[in-house]
């Protein structure tokens, strides 16, 4: 079988898996919120409500499509795609597992292995905000516009800390390749970057919340103040696309955290484990952070906007700069 | 004027992160709490005489005529303007009876003022709580939908007399 | 004017009026049942008792309606003794009064109910059963008598004796068996029976047509003027749920109708409730009359005026001064319909002339025109404007249908007219839906009040005419 066909197969498998996972996340979100509030959560569709995402999907398809009169029709239609596509693109370089032989072709379990994959993820996922900004602007609604504006300001503020946190890992590992970063942590639990870069870990996790517009940084939506923020005017599948984008972005950020700080697909105490064990380990590590996203959302109230900006510029940015500087010093002189 | 002093925050509280972890631990423990959800169609609400459900009209013992004389006091007492009454003359010894008695259940707020206003004990809050239909017009209840034999409302009537006994006596002596 | 001291204040009182009139004039709420300002005082109910001190004699409790005003008398309406006398009097009045308020049509505007409520006596002390009398006694077509509710104030008896001067009611029987009754049980007659239901202080005399129709607190009331004859009695229009006119009642006006109105005017409210109102405008198209926007209809009328010149204007006698003012600019020859006098004329109120604004329209230059003559003029005219409520009714829809279709007839009425000549029709508000002024036969200005809103799409006639005048200004420049 030719390598091209194998790559296509990998694309289908990984994207199928990721979208299924995103659908599962919508159910998980509702279940976790219910549990935290002493409720049961969806339990009517399928056993324990497991078919709820399917029902939601069918519902979204049958909802009426509304485009506001004053909207910029082209950008209004384009925005959901721009919100969902970058998150999906970023998935391509995530190393889900190590080497694998598929139909006689020896390859790795990620769609593309490129030597600057860490930079690629940052570059592509940063584009996600265009969907939010354009969606907010093209709706011709004051709430949407405010949501979009907030999203852009927030993204600029926190992307700096996010990148600087990654940079300190890159400096430590000496490579922009995610596989090389994973390889650098291969020695066992004690080699994980979590222990070497605890500050960067903390800053990265906080920045991912802002990057994915999740609570307590969901200023782009902000129901009590902005009705629904950038997606106020959206309905049906366009609305669903925004949410697909948000959940896939969460998966990307959770798997990035696992890759950068928790050794990615490396199994503790079992170097060179088979690919399916590695995949399971990777998913387990990612799930921890996915759960954290949900857990924090149903725990913390939303910040005030000035608090958000103060945290971003006066706390996180100086800390991450100092961290990169110190890492550089350590790497240069020891 | 009241001056509210804000609580002085300790260092741990100002750092915010320790408080975040404390909050996370609270919500995590909540996951394992007993659930309070009531599975509605299977588990019904238990109603008692105190429950104020939808208002219903009492039939006289002949199960044919309403106790209502369409005096309009519930109509004017209703804070949601849900009740509309048109009277008509009747050959019975009570000269007046409702020709039209409508309660717009979409407007009714189940406050029970109609029950208290009624001088003829003709309207009481039943234990019927469920309200659903496919059109607004169907939720404007007319006499046919509102009338109930006295026996169906007896617990509420007994409760109402008991609860209001005290002020009834007091007002009559002043 | 005589000076008296009322509740510690020195006030001026009319010596020709009883003391109770002075009390009411100076905002002292002395209750009254048998006293009525339009009738002679008899002092039969005793509820208006007040304390009076004159000269050196000790203060005594007297009935205010039978006490003349004397210079320097000291009146205390709230004295404990007066209060106690009134309370005891009220208890006796209520002794046999049935607890009918939920059923009684008077509830809400009942003097007995109001004062019982103010006095706060919730319970009688009597253990005797109440009188059982006839509750549904018909006194002719207009009035129903409930003998149990009656407190024998004799206002109704005096009304027929003093106002219509044709006594028809009396107090029959003695003591506790006294009831109000007609002579030899004959039904009541005359054109003023309805007034006794208004003056009855309780719910004993009620109108047959209003019985159980509405609760009085649900009626929205607007002061207005009756349009059934050229007297123009001041009235109150009472509307149920802002839709249906339920009752017309006289409004005290010493210059026109004192306290009364005739039954003919009282029961004329039925015409306000006639269904099939013309809302918006109609234009004769290929398939008959079709609905169009009123503004477009006005453009069409202006085009007709440009084509045919000033139209023949036939106005309804119910047109107000304000509407007439605008309409007279439009016409080449202005007329108002003047039907023959009817036979209802009497020496009390009714004038027999069905045109309420005859004097005002005459002053504006409108010439009276009998309906038959009006039809002849219309037959000959190329373009005619038929303006105002009931204009079609006075001419007769059947007669209008015989007019040739060479006539371009523009109709501004409350109801649509189906006649081949009618090419444009615009709905107008009726007398309960618009404001304006009528001049009665003495030149007294009666104001119409808006008691309810006109059907959707119906603009005030004054505004419609203003628009029409604006659109035809060039065509009619003379």
Each residue's pLDDT tens digit in chain C (478 positions)?
889 999 989 999 999 999 999 999 998 889 999 999 999 999 999 999 999 998 888 889 999 999 999 998 999 999 999 999 999 999 988 888 988 889 999 999 999 999 988 887 777 788 888 888 888 899 989 999 999 999 999 999 999 999 999 999 999 988 888 999 999 889 999 999 999 999 999 999 999 999 999 999 999 999 999 999 999 999 999 999 888 999 999 999 999 998 999 999 999 999 999 999 999 999 998 888 899 999 999 999 999 988 888 889 999 999 999 999 999 888 777 899 999 888 889 989 999 999 999 999 999 999 999 999 999 999 888 899 999 999 999 999 899 998 888 889 999 999 999 888 899 999 999 999 999 999 999 999 999 999 999 999 899 999 999 999 998 887 665 4
A175 assigned to some structural domain: yes
What is the interface size between B and C, counted as CB pairs within 8 Å? 41
Q: Please give the backbone phi and psi of residue B39, each rounded to the nearest 5 degrees, phi first.
A: -80, 95
Compute how many other C-beta atoms are within 10 angstroms of the C-beta atom of residue C41: 22
Q: Can you give the length of chain C in residues?
A: 478
Spans in chain A with pLDDT lower than 70: 1, 220, 222
> What's the total number of domains in chain A?
1
Residue C450: its pLDDT value, please?
Answer: 94
pLDDT at B14 over 80: no
| Pick from B27, B34, B39: CB nearest A36 | B27
Check CB contact of B24 with chain A, cutoff 8 Å. Answer: yes
Residue B169: its pLDDT value, please?
Answer: 52
The answer to whether C215 contacts B174, with C-beta atoms less than 8 Å apart, is no
* Helix-helix angle A275-297:A236-261, to 10 degrees: 120
Collapsed DSSP state (helix, strand, coil) of residue C335: strand
Check CB contact of C125 with chain B, cutoff 8 Å. Answer: no
A101 assigned to some structural domain: no
Look up residue B125 and give its two tokens.
Answer: 């809050």
Check CB contact of B167 with chain C, cutoff 8 Å. Answer: no
Domain that holds residue A326: 68-95+114-333
In this structure, are residues C225 and C356 in contact, taking their beta carbons and an 8 Å threshold? yes
Query: CATH number of the domain at C128-212, out of 3.30.70.20, 1.10.3720.10, 3.30.930.10, 1.10.510.10?
Result: 3.30.70.20
Check CB contact of A48 with chain B, cutoff 8 Å. Answer: no
CA angle B25, B27, B29 (to 5 degrees): 70
The whole-angstrom separation of Cα B56 and Cα B61 is 16
Check CB contact of B72 with chain C, cutoff 8 Å. Answer: yes
- Label residue B172 by pLDDT band (50, 70, 90): very low
Check CB contact of C218 with chain B, cutoff 8 Å. Answer: yes
Question: Which of C98, C100, C103, C204 to mutate to test binding with chain B, by most B CBs within 10 Å of its CB?
Answer: C103
CA angle C123, C124, C126 (to 5 degrees): 150
The answer to whether A35 contacts B30, with C-beta atoms less than 8 Å apart, is yes
pLDDT (tens digit per residue) in C53-71: 988 888 899 999 999 999 9
The answer to whether B27 contacts A39, with C-beta atoms less than 8 Å apart, is no
The whole-angstrom separation of Cα A74 and Cα A84 is 16
A148 assigned to some structural domain: yes
Q: What is the DSSP string of A160-194?
A: HHHHHHHHHHHHHHT-S-HHHHHHHTTT-GGGSHH
Look up residue C115 and give its two tokens.
Answer: 């004062």
Chains that touch B (3 or more CB pairs under 8 A): A, C
Instruction: Give the closest residue to B85 by CA, choosing from B132, B123, B130.
Output: B123
Compute how many other C-beta atoms are within 10 angstroms of the C-beta atom of residue C432: 24
Q: In B69-79, which positions are buried (b, 16+ CB within 10 angstroms) versus exposed (e)?
A: bbbbbbbbbbe
Its sign, for the CA torsion B138, B140, B143, B146, is: positive
Comparing alpha-carbon positions, the chain B residue that sits nearest to A292 is B24
A25 assigned to some structural domain: no
In this structure, are residues C340 and C370 in contact, taking their beta carbons and an 8 Å threshold? yes
Before C413, cis peptide (omega within 30)?
Answer: no
In this structure, are residues A325 and B57 in contact, taking their beta carbons and an 8 Å threshold? no
Check CB contact of A316 with chain B, cutoff 8 Å. Answer: no
Its sign, for the CA torsion C241, C245, C247, C253, is: positive
Which chain B residues in 36-95 lie under 8 Å from chain A, judged by CB atoms? 36-37, 39
Architecture of domain C2-94: Roll (3.10)
Residue A220: its pLDDT value, please?
Answer: 67
Residue A151: its pLDDT value, please?
Answer: 84
CA of B38 vs chain A CAs: smallest distance (Å): 9
Residue B78: its pLDDT value, please?
Answer: 94
Decide: C and A in contact? Rule: 3+ Cβ pairs under 8 Å.
no
Q: In B94-120, which positions are buried (b, 16+ CB within 10 angstroms) versus exposed (e)?
A: ebbbbeebbbbbeebeebbbbbebbeb
CA of B24 vs chain A CAs: smallest distance (Å): 6
Residue ranges per structural domain of chain C: 2-94, 128-212, 281-477
Instruction: Give the closest residue to A311 by CA, choosing from A323, A319, A301.
Output: A319
The answer to whether B31 contacts A37, with C-beta atoms less than 8 Å apart, is no
Residue B173: its pLDDT value, please?
Answer: 37
A37 assigned to some structural domain: no
| H or E element in which residue C13 lies | strand C9-13
The answer to whether C212 contacts B88, with C-beta atoms less than 8 Å apart, is yes
H helices of chain A, in order, are: 3-36, 52-62, 73-91, 117-125, 128-138, 142-173, 178-184, 193-196, 198-211, 223-226, 236-261, 275-297, 305-310, 317-333
The whole-angstrom separation of Cα B111 and Cα B103 is 13
CATH topology of domain C281-477: Rossmann fold (3.40.50)
pLDDT at B167 over 70: no
The whole-angstrom separation of Cα A46 and Cα A59 is 16
pLDDT at B166 over 60: no
pLDDT at B171 over 70: no
In this structure, are residues C250 and C264 in contact, taking their beta carbons and an 8 Å threshold? no
In this structure, are residues B146 and B103 in contact, taking their beta carbons and an 8 Å threshold? yes
The answer to whether B87 contacts C218, with C-beta atoms less than 8 Å apart, is no
Comparing alpha-carbon positions, the chain A residue that sits nearest to B35 is A38
Question: Which of A33, A38, A201 to mutate to test binding with chain B, by most B CBs within 10 Å of its CB?
Answer: A38
pLDDT at B113 over 90: yes
Residues of chain A found within 8 Å of residue B33, distances taken between Cβ atoms: 38
Under DSSP, the state recorded for C18 is: B
CA atoms within a 13 Å half-sphere pointing along the CA-CB vector of A204: 28
Residue C477: its pLDDT value, please?
Answer: 55
């Amino acid at each position: 079988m030719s390598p091209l066909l194998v790559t296509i197969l990998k694309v289908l498998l990984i994207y199928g898996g990721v979208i299924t996972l995103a659908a599962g996340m919508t159910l998980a979100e509702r279940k976790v919120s219910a549990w935290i509030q002493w409720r049961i959560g969806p339990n009517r569709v399928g056993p324990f409500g497991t078919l709820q995402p399917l029902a939601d999907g069918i519902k979204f398809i049958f909802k009426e499509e509304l485009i506001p009169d004053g909207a910029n029709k082209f950008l209004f239609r384009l925005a959901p795609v721009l919100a969902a596509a970058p998150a999906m693109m970023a998935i391509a370089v995530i190393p889900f597992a190590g080497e694998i032989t598929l139909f006689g072709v020896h390859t790795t379990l990620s769609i593309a292995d490129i030597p600057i994959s860490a930079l690629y993820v940052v570059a592509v996922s940063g584009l996600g905000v265009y969907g939010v900004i354009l969606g907010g602007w093209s709706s011709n609604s004051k709430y949407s516009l405010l949501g979009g504006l907030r999203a852009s300001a927030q993204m600029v503020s926190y992307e700096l800390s996010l990148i600087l946190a990654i940079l300190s890992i890159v400096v430590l590992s000496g490579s922009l390749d995610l596989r090389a970063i994973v390889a650098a942590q291969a020695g066992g639990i004690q080699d994980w970057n979590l222990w070497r870069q605890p500050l960067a870990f903390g800053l990265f996790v906080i920045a991912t919340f802002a990057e994915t517009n999740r609570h307590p940084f969901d200023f782009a939506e902000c129901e009590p103040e902005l009705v629904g923020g950038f997606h106020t005017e959206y309905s049906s599948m366009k609305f669903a696309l925004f949410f697909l984008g948000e959940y896939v972005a969460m998966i990307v950020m959770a798997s990035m955290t696992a890759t950068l700080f928790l050794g990615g697909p490396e199994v503790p105490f079992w170097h060179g484990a088979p690919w399916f064990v590695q995949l399971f380990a990777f998913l387990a590590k990612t799930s921890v952070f996915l759960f954290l996203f949900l857990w924090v959302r149903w725990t913390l109230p939303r910040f005030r906007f000035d608090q958000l900006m103060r945290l971003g510029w006066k706390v996180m940015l100086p800390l991450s700069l100092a961290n990169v500087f110190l890492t550089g010093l350590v790497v240069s002189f020891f | 004027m009241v001056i509210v002093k804000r609580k002085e925050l300790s260092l741990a509280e100002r750092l915010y992160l320790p408080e975040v972890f404390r909050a996370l631990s609270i919500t995590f423990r909540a996951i394992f709490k007993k659930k309070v959800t009531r599975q509605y169609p299977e588990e019904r609400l238990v109603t008692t005489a105190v429950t104020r459900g939808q208002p219903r009209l009492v039939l006289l013992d002949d199960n044919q005529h309403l106790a209502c004389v369409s005096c309009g006091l519930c109509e004017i007492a209703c804070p949601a303007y849900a009740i509309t009454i048109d009277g008509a003359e009747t050959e019975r010894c009570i000269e007046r009876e409702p020709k039209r008695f409508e309660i717009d259940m979409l407007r009714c707020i189940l406050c029970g003022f109609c029950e208290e206003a009624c001088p003829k004990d003709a309207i009481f809050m039943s234990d019927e709580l469920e309200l659903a239909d496919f059109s607004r017009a169907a939720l404007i209840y007319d006499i046919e939908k509102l009338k109930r034999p006295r026996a169906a409302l007896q617990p509420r009537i007994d409760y109402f007399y008991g609860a209001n006994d005290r002020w009834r006596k007091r007002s009559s002596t002043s | 004017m005589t000076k008296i001291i009322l509740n510690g204040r020195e006030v001026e009182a009319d010596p020709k009026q009883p003391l109770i009139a002075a009390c009411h004039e100076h905002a002292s709420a002395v209750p009254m049942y048998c006293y009525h300002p339009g009738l002679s005082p008899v002092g039969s109910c005793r509820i208006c008792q007040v304390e009076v001190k004159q000269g050196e004699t000790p203060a005594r409790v007297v009935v205010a309606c039978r006490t003349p005003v004397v210079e320097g008398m000291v009146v205390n309406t709230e004295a404990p003794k007066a209060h106690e006398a009134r309370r005891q009097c009220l208890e006796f009045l209520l002794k046999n009064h049935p607890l009918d308020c939920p059923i009684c049509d008077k509830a809400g505007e009942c003097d007995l109910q109001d004062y019982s409520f103010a006095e706060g006596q919730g319970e009688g002390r009597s253990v005797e059963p109440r009188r059982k009398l006839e509750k549904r006694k018909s006194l002719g077509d207009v009035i129903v008598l409930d003998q149990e509710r009656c407190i024998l104030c004799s206002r109704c008896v005096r009304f027929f004796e003093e106002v219509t001067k044709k006594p028809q009611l009396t107090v029959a029987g003695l003591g506790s068996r006294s009831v109000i009754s007609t002579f030899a049980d004959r039904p009541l007659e005359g054109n003023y029976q309805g007034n006794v239901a208004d003056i009855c202080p309780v719910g004993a005399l009620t109108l047959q047509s209003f019985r159980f129709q509405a609760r009085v607190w649900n009626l929205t009331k607007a002061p207005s003027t009756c349009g059934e004859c050229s007297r123009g009695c001041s009235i109150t229009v009472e509307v149920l749920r802002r839709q249906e006119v339920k009752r017309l009642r006289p409004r005290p006006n010493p210059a026109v109708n004192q306290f009364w109105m005739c039954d003919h005017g009282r029961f004329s409210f039925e015409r306000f409730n006639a269904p099939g109102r013309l809302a918006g405008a109609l234009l004769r198209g290929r398939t008959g009359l079709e609905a169009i926007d009123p503004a477009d209809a006005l453009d069409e009328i202006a085009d007709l005026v440009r084509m045919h010149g000033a139209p023949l204007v036939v106005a309804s006698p119910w047109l107000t001064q304000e509407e007439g003012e605008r309409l007279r600019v439009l016409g080449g020859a202005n007329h108002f319909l003047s039907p023959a006098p009817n036979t209802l004329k009497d020496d009390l109120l009714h004038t027999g002339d069905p045109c309420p604004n005859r004097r005002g329209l005459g002053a504006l230059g409108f010439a009276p025109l009998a309906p038959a003559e009006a039809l002849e003029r219309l037959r000959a005219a190329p373009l005619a404007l038929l303006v105002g409520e009931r204009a079609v009714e006075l001419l007769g829809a059947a007669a209008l249908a015989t007019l040739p279709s060479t006539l371009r007839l523009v109709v501004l009425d409350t109801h649509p007219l189906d006649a081949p000549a009618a090419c444009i029709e615009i709905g107008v508000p009726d007398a309960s839906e618009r404001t304006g002024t009528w001049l009665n036969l003495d030149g007294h200005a009666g104001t119409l009040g808006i008691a309810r809103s006109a059907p959707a799409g119906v603009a005030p006639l004054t505004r419609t005419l203003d628009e029409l005048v604006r659109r035809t200004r060039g065509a009619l420049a003379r």
